[in-house]
Each structure stands twice: as C-alpha cells, then as structure tokens.
Structure 1
Amino acid sequence: MSVNTILVTGGFGQVGKRCCELLLDRGRTVIAMDLRTDRSVAAADELSGPARPGTLVPAFVDLLDPAAVAGLVDEHRPDAIVHLAARLAPASYPNPAAAGRVNVEGTGNVVAAATALDRPPLLVLASSASVYGSRNPYRYPELITDETPVDPIDHYGRDKILAETIVRESGLPYAVLRLGGVISPDGMSGADRTHLVLIRATPRDNRIHAVDARDVALAFANAVDRADSIDGRTLLIAGDESYRKLQRELEDDMTQSIGLGRLGPSVSLPGDPADDRGWTFTGWFDTTESEALLDFQRHTWSETREWIAHSQARSRTLLLRTFGPVLRPAIRLLMAVQRRRDGRGDYADPWTLFEKTYGPDVLANKGSERP
C-alpha cells in the first residue's frame, strides 16, 4: 500500500515533531494534530520550512472533541495514523481522571474516525512500559518481551492497556509500540514537580531501559511503511544494550551531562528485594524483534548524553560546573531531610509515596494495600 498522507496526533511533542520531520523529509503529506499552544505553534513554524519536500498541515484540534477529530480524518483520509497524543506519567498524577479522558476516550475518538473511512488506515499506537507495572529485578531478572504479562500498578499503565484494547478490537490494521524511557532535551526541560517526586520515589537500583527520542520517532516513521510486517504486532521500543541502566546511574549520567556532576547513591533509597510492589513501572526490554522489523536504533547512550549536553546553554553549564562542588552535597542533604519529613524507611517503597502525595486515584486499583 502506498502511504502518502499520515496523521500524527501529538504532532508537536518531543517524539511527534521529530516523527513529522522524518516523514516530511520523505516527501509525505503530514497532518500534525495537537493542541494550540505557543510551543506547538513554534514547532509548526519550524517544520513548515520551504526546504522540506513534504507538506505539513498543522491541525490544532482537541483530541476530546469527537466531531472535530472525525471531521479532520474525513477531510484528509490518511493512509496511516501515528497516535502519540497522551497525558504522560508522572505529569498525569495530580489529575488521573483528566488523563484517562485523553488516553482512553481520545484513543476511542481517533479509532471511531478511522473506522468510518472506506479504506481503513494503519493505526500505530504509542503505548508504554508502564503496562508491566512494578518490576522487581531481583525476582524477575529476565528481559521483558511482548509475551510478558501486563500488570499495571498506576492509572497510566491501566489507561494504556485500555487504549491498546480499543485499537486491537477496532478491526483496523494496527501496531502497538510500547516505549521505554524516552530521553530528549525538551523532555528534560519540560520536567516539573511531579518528575521531582518520581526521582525521590524511584529505587536507585530500579531497572530502566531508556531510548533516544530521535530513535523513537524513527520507529514510528518506519512503521507506517511496514504495515504488512507489523500488522497486529506489539513491539518494544528502547535503545540498544548501552541504554539498559539502573535508575541512579541514569540520573547521574544526566546530571553529569548538564554540568552538575554525579550525585551518587546516597541521594536515593534502594528497592526492597522482598517486595514486588516496591519498584516502578519499567525494566529492560528485549528489542531483538522490534529492531529487526523497524531498524530504529541509530544512537548510543553516549550520543544521547552528548545531545543533552550540547542542548544546554553554555552559561548554565559553566554555572553548574562552577558551583557543583557546593550544590551536590546540598542536594544530598536536602534529599535526606525530605526522606525524614516523608517518614520513609530503609527502602524506596515508591507507590506508598505516590499515593500519599497524589491520593489513591493514582493507582490502577485505588487504595491498594501492601501485601
């Protein structure tokens, strides 16, 4: 099937805008759908440059307006839809209900519009490692595969499973891409208070499989051209083996890249090897199959770190390097004080902290008691 017109929801986000750029460079017509904000308007202006062989059609449409979504899809009749739009965790934690409307109802609106077309488009859904829930690396050291049972612990993982179900039952040709921890300069700059809580909560020995946002964008861009080989598949999207990290190692790599230096293990708590609930929603992926099908792993972890480092304002990097010897012990002390204020014990116990901070709605099963 010739794929000429592609709808990308969340088209101006950290993955969306890079996916749109790749598709435009391939000469495609790209309908980039997103909410109208200063950031999305600026991204649309950047992508609309005359040098690109493709055609960008910015569409500032609310995913939760079913009539507007249906009208957009009916007008452009895309050959493929890349559905990236979502309310991501942990930014979604203060209002899980609102996030659920976007993540689940929004997906339903896209599917309803797509199934109304005479020629069904390929739908490629962005899902998440969060569907696997709390992963105790001491009890479950094996790599995660598409056969690993899903067991979400937070509302976001539950939302993503519901969205996957909507897509699978739609009758459309589809693929589900479950993403690891996406890293980009704009993702780093967009961190807010909820990300600080996540850092405080996550065990330092928690496994995380990161991936460069540029490689994620490439996976989706390649997927729209490979419908025959990916139809009906669930594929795991993460970086090569160099991106398999422990949480503390990844965080220290990032703080070193921006000039602050490494904070070290004392800044966070370990996970409890005897507690399957005491870990966050990630692990290390087996990406053998997804890489063979989508050919997306183009960067190494060191290259991603260089990307982050070069994106920083030189003056900010120099400032952090200059004051790093003072800031690092101050941050360690602040984190220790915060742990005492939170009444935390010897282990990280992240979901107790999340529930205490945001309420029981943050959990997949409200008010779950510890075993």
Structure 2
Amino acid sequence: MTVPILVTGAFGQVGRRCVANLLARGHTVVASDLRTEAALSVVRTLADQHTPGTLLPAYADLLDPAAIGSLVARHQPRAIVHLAAMLSPVSYRNPELARRINVGGTRTLVRAAQGLAAPPLFVYASSAGVYGSRNPYRHPERLSAQTAVDPVDQYGEDKMLAERIIVNSGLSHAILRLGGVISPDGAGALNRDYLLLMRATPGDNRLHTVDARDAALAFANAAERPDSVDGKVLLIGGDDSHLNLHRDVEDDMLQAIGLGRLGPQASLPGDPDDDRGWSFTGWLDTTESQALLDYQHHSWAHTVDWVASAQPRAVRVIAGALGPLARPVVRTALTLQRRAEHRGPYADPWTLISAKLGPGVLASNVDPAPT
C-alpha cells in the first residue's frame, strides 16, 4: 500500500470529487469526515467505482484532538488536503463553534502533522472571503495573492486566522483560496440563511465562480505537486467565462432549474461610494494557479448545463410551467420585503445580515492564541 493522502471534509461537494480523482490515480486515500448518513452514502458510491486506488474511510471530529492525533499518527500521510470547515452562512448561527472548528480544528490538525517524523504537505482550502468587502468601482483590479486581506465577516476572519496558523507552522504548505463553488449539490443547501445571503448581496457584485469538479481537481493536483506549490497562495476560480455579476449567476441557476430569470429588479445594487457595502466576492487572478495546477476544464456554460441536467425532469417541468406566474410574484414579494425592512436604494449587505443574525456574523478582529 502506498503512503496515503489524508483528505478532511472528504464527503462534501469538493471533498468527494477530490477523493475520486486521487483514487482514480491509484492513491491510497484516508477520507475523513463526520459520520452521517450522507457521508456513508458517499462512501458507498466511491467504493462502487472500483478505482485502482484504496479508499480508507475514517470518521473523526476536528474538535477531538485525541482522535485527530491518532488518525494522523496511524496513517502518517504524505499530504493532507484540509477541506473540512463550518461554512458560511451556517457558521453565522454559531460563530463560537465555527471558530473552534475552523481555527481550533486547523490548529489541532497542524500540530498532529508537525509530530510526524516526515511532516506532510498541508494543502488548505481557504476562501476569497479573507479579502472582505470588495467595491468594484474603487477596486476594479482582480484579487491576487498580493492583495491585502481584510475580512468583513466571521467566516473570512476564521479562514484568515487558520491561514496564519499554517504559514507559521513550518510545514510545507499550499493555501488555495476558493471563489464561489458551484455544483448540483447546492440546491439542497437553499435554506433561509442562504436565501438571506443571496438577497443581501448587491446584484452588481462581482462573483468569480468555479465548477466543483475543477476545484476538486485543483486540490488533487496540488497534493501531487509539493515541489510546485510549497509556500504558495493560489486563487482558485474558473476560466474567464466564470467572471459574472451576482444577479446573473443567480438568474442562470434559476434558469437551470427551470424557473427562469428574475432580472435586475430582483436585487438592489451596491453603493459605489461605500467600500463596506459589498459582499466578500470579487474576480480572481487565476493565472498562477492555472499554470501550476491545470484545473480549469469546465466553462460557466458547462457548469450551468451540469446543474440543469442534475435536476429531476419533473422538477424542471413543474418549474417551467409555474415560472411565468411565479417570477412576477417573487419580484413583487422581494420588493415588499425590502420596504418592510426599510432598506434604502443600495444593498448594504452587512447591515441587513447582522440585523437578522446578530453581530457575531461580523469579523471581530480578535486574534486567538498563536499556534
């Protein structure tokens, strides 16, 4: 058996596709995540693919240092792909728990890796959220590894702090900052908090998406290329067809499920004079990441088609039939909701989100104890 690669968050939308890539290449993969029915279903699917690699499912909680230490010591991986996290907006409901998972859990995993005789390459899934609110009128340039980080929300701050732990660890490492990951899986995550985040975001906010299959390939390739990626901060987004505005991305997704486009009146614009009045998304400079990892294989049209083809035919038929009636009703409801919330002419997302979910959603600028 070959020296394994450990993947945390192995059964999420990026994790399971990263694991599948590595198994197809003959690697032994220790696939770690929480034990849930969804995780067990993914394990069965991966096992049924009969790849040349070896799948070793492992169920461990980042909040359990003994379990993580034992997992790493037992398998002694040559690379760790750390995808596990409590993502936003779910994290906004419990920012203290999110920090324990996202920052404390990363510290636990790093310490376990530092204890190995041959410390592994540590590949970390970060986020464009570390850059904070991005006003495209004042900052039209693309985000890069050299752009200063200034998170506006709890999740972006968690990612910034976790990055700092990794950089200061002495481990060989690569930090991959993700844009907006898109897959058919996202339809199942559309709860009220996601809907709040969507309608809070300015319609003209820049959004750089990436197909989940391409994001997974980036992590799999990084794990195999330690000499190329060591010490790098790489921005992971799709090709230039993935450079869109938030409203257009939402409408393309609504079109994919059959409902049809809501149009620009469904959202408020961002304030060109307010640097804080924007979401934490922007367009990324992916030149270096693509050169090193060769992962951009699906255009935005391919991604939209993938989402559309994954919808049950009955859903698309019903949505298509209801669309002409539903769209004006939804537009009217959104307008009335904005009036009830006393929103002005601009989106002002963080005022709305913090009012709905509490001040804990915002970055606290409190640095936890160093690693």
Q: TM-score range by the shorter chain?
A: over 0.9
User: Cα offset for 1:306?
Assistant: 0.5
Distance 1:105 1:343 in 2: 38
Aligned residue number for residue 34 of structure 2: 35
Distance 1:175 1:57 in 2: 24
Distance 1:348 1:26 in 2: 46
- TM-score, with normalisation over the residues of structure 2? 0.97
Deviations 1:121-157 (A, max 9, x none): 0000000000000000000000111000000000111
Deviations 1:88-139 (A, max 9, x none): 1112111111111110001011101100100010000000000000000000
SS of alignment partner, residue 92 of structure 2: coil
Where do residues 3-42 of structure 1 align in structure 2 (5 Å cutoff)? 4-42=3-41
User: Cα offset for 1:50?
Assistant: 5.9
Where do residues 178-327 of structure 1 align in structure 2 (5 Å cutoff)? 178-327=177-326
Deviations 1:10-34 (A, max 9, x none): 0000000000000000111111100
Deviations 1:220-257 (A, max 9, x none): 00001110111000000000000001000110011001
Distance 1:225 1:10 in 2: 18
Is the CA contact (8 Å cut-off) linking 2:255 and 2:261 kept in structure 1? yes
Is the CA contact (8 Å cut-off) linking 1:124 and 1:224 kept in structure 2? yes
Q: Are residue 360 (structure 1) and residue 353 (structure 2) matched?
A: no
Q: Give the counterpart letter for 2:43 in structure 1.
A: A
SS of alignment partner, residue 174 of structure 2: strand
User: Cα offset for 1:365?
Assistant: 3.2
Q: Give the counterpart letter for 2:281 in structure 1.
A: T
Aligned residue number for residue 156 of structure 1: 155
Change (3 A) 1:3 1:243: farther
Distance 2:111 2:191 in 1: 34
Deviations 1:45-83 (A, max 9, x none): 111126211111111111110000000111111010000
SS of alignment partner, residue 269 of structure 2: coil
Q: Give the counterpart letter for 2:358 in structure 1.
A: G
Q: Give the counterpart letter for 2:142 in structure 1.
A: L
Deviations 1:194-217 (A, max 9, x none): 110011100000000000000000
Distance 2:262 2:127 in 1: 28
Deviations 1:300-348 (A, max 9, x none): 0000000000000000000000110000011101111111111101000
Q: Give the counterpart letter for 1:234 in structure 2.
A: V
User: Cα offset for 1:191?
Assistant: 2.3
Q: Give the counterpart letter for 2:211 in structure 1.
A: D
Distance 2:155 2:17 in 1: 24
User: Cα offset for 1:3?
Assistant: 7.5
Aligned residue number for residue 128 of structure 1: 127
Distance 1:70 1:341 in 2: 51
Q: Give the counterpart letter for 1:36 in structure 2.
A: R
Q: Give the counterpart letter for 1:301 in structure 2.
A: W
Deviations 1:177-199 (A, max 9, x none): 00000000112322211110011
Number of residues of Structure 1 aligned to a counterpart in Structure 2: 365
| 5+ residue gaps, structure 1 | 367-371
Distance 2:256 2:49 in 1: 34
Aligned residue number for residue 85 of structure 2: 86
Change (3 A) 1:332 1:73: same
Q: Give the counterpart letter for 2:152 in structure 1.
A: I
Distance 1:175 1:329 in 2: 47
Distance 1:224 1:17 in 2: 15
Q: Are residue 98 (structure 1) and residue 105 (structure 2) matched?
A: no
What percent of counterpart residues are identical?
59
Distance 1:108 1:365 in 2: 19
SS of alignment partner, residue 156 of structure 1: helix
Question: Alignment RMSD, CA only?
Answer: 1.1
Distance 1:168 1:89 in 2: 23
- TM-score, with normalisation over the residues of structure 1? 0.97
Aligned residue number for residue 53 of structure 2: 54
Is the CA contact (8 Å cut-off) linking 1:91 and 1:192 kept in structure 2? no
Is the CA contact (8 Å cut-off) linking 1:5 and 1:79 kept in structure 2? yes
Distance 1:70 1:342 in 2: 48
Range that drifts further, 356-365 or 128-137: 356-365
Distance 1:148 1:8 in 2: 28
